[in-house]
Copies of this chain bind each other. A is one copy, B any other.
Amino acid sequence: MRNIRNSNIELKGHPVTAQRRLLLKLIRDTRGHIDAKELYRRASSMDESISLATVYRSLRLFKELDLVDERRLGQVRCYYEVKQLGEHQHLVCKGCGAVIEFKSSLIHKLVDKVQSEHGFNVTKAELYLEGYCKECREEAKGSS
């Protein structure tokens, strides 16, 4: 694979490789959340020689450069998404696996309070809610 152009701004001096460009594009083309394995699958279909290790290394770099966010959504593995402007949180249905995003200003209040009460400098606030969506609840009612 060959380099087309060098918009070296985003990667802050880190070499722009074809792999990094591809992976970043694939993440950005994803609506929602993607895990390393699925990103690797999609990348492989464009560049069959790409390595899973490169996917992980690139994800780590993108994270460090604040290009993507890493999320724990109830499972062992991590999911990734492009860095959004405002923070948002996640709601996961244990029934169907649906992931709903939502914003809440209460989080900021809470973080402020914790920072002043504990002298802590909070750099990451992640709220994870789990439960059952309306559909899954009604389904469960029907079968019981």
Cβ-defined partner of A94 (8 Å) among B123, B131, B137: B123
B110 engages A106 (CB within 8 Å):
yes
Interface residue tally for chain A (C-beta within 8 Å): 34
Q: What does the 1/0 interface line of A122-134 toward B look like (CB < 8 Å)? A: 1111111111111
Given contacts A118-B102, A121-B137, contact A110 B93 (CB under 8 A): no
**A22 at the B interface (CB under 8 A):** no
**A109 at the B interface (CB under 8 A):** yes
CA distance A127 to B87 in the complex (A): 14
**A120 at the B interface (CB under 8 A):** yes
CA distance A130 to B91 in the complex (A): 20
Closest CB pairs A-B (n = 4): A119-B134, A122-B131, A124-B130, A123-B131
Identify the A interface with B (CB < 8 A). 72, 76, 91, 93-94, 100, 102, 104, 106-107, 109-111, 113-114, 117-134, 137
Instruction: Name 10 interchain pairs, CB-CB below 8 A, sorted by A.
Output: A72-B72, A76-B76, A93-B120, A120-B132, A122-B130, A123-B131, A125-B127, A126-B128, A126-B129, A127-B128
